[in-house]
Amino acid sequence: MEPKLLTAVRFVDSTCGISYRYVYSDTEYFRPHFHDYYEVFLLLEGAVTHHVNGHAVPLGRGSLVFIRPNDTHDYLLRAGERFSMLNMTATRDTVEGLLEYLAEGFPAAELLSAALPPTVLLEESDFQYILTQMTAIRAIGEDETARRKTALRILLFRIFTRFFAGFREQTEGRGPLWLERLAAEMRRDGNFIQGIPRMVALSGKSREHLARSVKKHLGMTLSGFINELRLNFIANMLKNSNHSITDIVYESGFGNFSWAAELFFQRYGVTMSAYRKKG
């Protein structure tokens, strides 16, 4: 069957530049298709095989997928299977304007050029976060177009910055995808402050397996990886706050000021006080 082109004129609210829809597989007809707009969908229940760009990708509850224009995809269900999803569609101007705003530090080029649509499996807390945000959006009146437009764009911004900011396409020579995602997760929500125990918990691996993987693919020890993030935090706070140096060090997660000061000097070649003065 030839893929069908779906257009923004039909599937995106032109006044908002973004729309949402709850889709249930048992009342929907699926066929191979591609878009002239962007789409983000979240699988809410069930499981499905996502046929996309010539590949079969199994998806389950909590799978968050970013579909680009010209990604050709379809959903294959075996007898008795069903699923539901939250589908968000957005015009090119909406998404590309957001990516431009996020600037060079955001992996826009990798998100857009990856062979397969970027996909993240959300943890339960993140899954519930999106559902909660959508519950609030659904309470906005149909005549409150401006509020709905802003709320949907805020949610889209949060989805990209919270879940896709650490995206790197899995290619030969890079570490395993789970480690890439873990490294990004450790930068988020102050996880690095909690240190190695938090990293082990998020990884779902044994400490020994995690340590071997970090050494092999990132070239450092677990403590070295955590300390790197903490030193970055300290350096940024020295330049961008008036907090005391002592408070900054302990806020970063270091429990020993002298050790933090020694590591900082090794990294930057000056004391924390001198670094702040020259900043």
CB 234 within 8 A of CB 226: no
Which range, of 126-135, 160-169, 226-235, averages the lowest pLDDT?
A: 160-169
Average pLDDT over residues 169-181: 66
Q: How many CA atoms lie within 13 A of 148 on its CB side?
A: 17
CATH of domain 4-163: 2.60.120.280
pLDDT at residue 29 greater than cutoff 90: no
Nearest Cα residue to 92 out of 140, 35, 52, 173: 35
256, 258, 262, 265: CA torsion to nearest 10: 110
* pLDDT level of residue 26 (50, 70, 90 thresholds): confident
The rounded mean pLDDT for the chain is 92
Is it the case that residue 263 has pLDDT exceeding 70?
Answer: yes
| Domain ranges for the chain | 4-163, 177-278
Detail the DSSP E strand segments found in 117-220.
119-121
The per-residue pLDDT for 172 is: 44
What amino acid is encoded at 64 in this protein? L
**Interval 14-25 mean pLDDT:** 94
pLDDT at 174: 56
201-228 per-position pLDDT tens digit:
999 999 999 999 999 988 999 999 999 9
Count of Cβ atoms closer than 10 Å to residue 184 Cβ:
18
Strands (DSSP E) found in 55-200: 55-60, 63-67, 73-76, 83-90, 119-121
Chain segment 116-152, per-residue pLDDT in tens:
999 988 889 899 999 999 999 999 998 999 999 999 9
Q: What's phi and psi for 224, nearest 5 deg?
A: -65, -40
pLDDT exceeds cutoff 60 at 189? yes
Name the pLDDT band for 169 (thresholds 50, 70, 90): low
177-278 to CATH, choices 1.10.10.10, 1.10.3720.10, 1.10.150.20, 1.10.10.60: 1.10.10.60
| Residue 36 vs residues 2, 69, 90: alpha-carbon distances, Å | 16, 5, 10
pLDDT above 70 as % of the chain: 97
Note the pLDDT tens digit of each residue in 31-77: 999 999 999 999 999 989 999 999 999 999 999 999 999 999 999 88
Looking at residue 177, what is its pLDDT? 73
